[in-house]
Amino acid sequence: MDEKEKKPEEEKPEEKQPAEDTGKGNKPKTPKVIDDANSAAERMEQANEKRELLLQREEELAANRQLGGETEAGGQAPVEKKLSDKEYAEAMERGEANPFKEDGFK
């Protein structure tokens, strides 16, 4: 009997250990459309961050112009050169002078 008792102990099957995950197998893949949408969203977020920085710079420049006196308002109109009588006569012959301008007509 000793031999019979020893055999089953020796012939015991080894305990099975769970298989290691190799990363292969039937895993669901994300569709290409979703990947493309995610990458497009990331690019848009980066572009928005850059635009935000540019907008802040533009606002600072506008504020500096207003405080520094370099605004568009308050500019002086260009001074028109007064034509001499001879220059006026020549301009009239060419049709460039407006005789009614001084009277307020256009």
Model confidence over 25-70: pLDDT tens digits? 676 676 888 889 999 999 999 999 999 999 999 999 988 888 876 5
**62 belongs to a structural domain:** yes
- For residue 50, the SS3 value is helix
In a domain, 42, yes or no: yes
Q: Is residue 91 assigned to a domain?
A: no
Domain count along the chain = 1
pLDDT tens across 82-101, in order?
A: 888 899 899 889 988 877 77
Any idea which residue has 């009277």 for tokens?
103
Task: Give pLDDT, residue 83.
Answer: 83
Its sign, for the CA torsion 78, 84, 88, 90, is negative
Position 58 in a domain: yes
Looking at the domain assignment, is residue 57 inside a domain? Answer: yes
Cα–Cα distances in angstroms (integers) from residue 100 to residues 2, 3, 96, in the given order: 137, 136, 12
Q: Is residue 85 part of a domain?
A: no
* Residue 7 within a domain: no
Cα dihedral 59, 65, 66, 71 in deg (nearest 10) = -120
Which residue range forms the structural domain that includes residue 52?
A: 30-68
Stated pTM of the model? 0.35
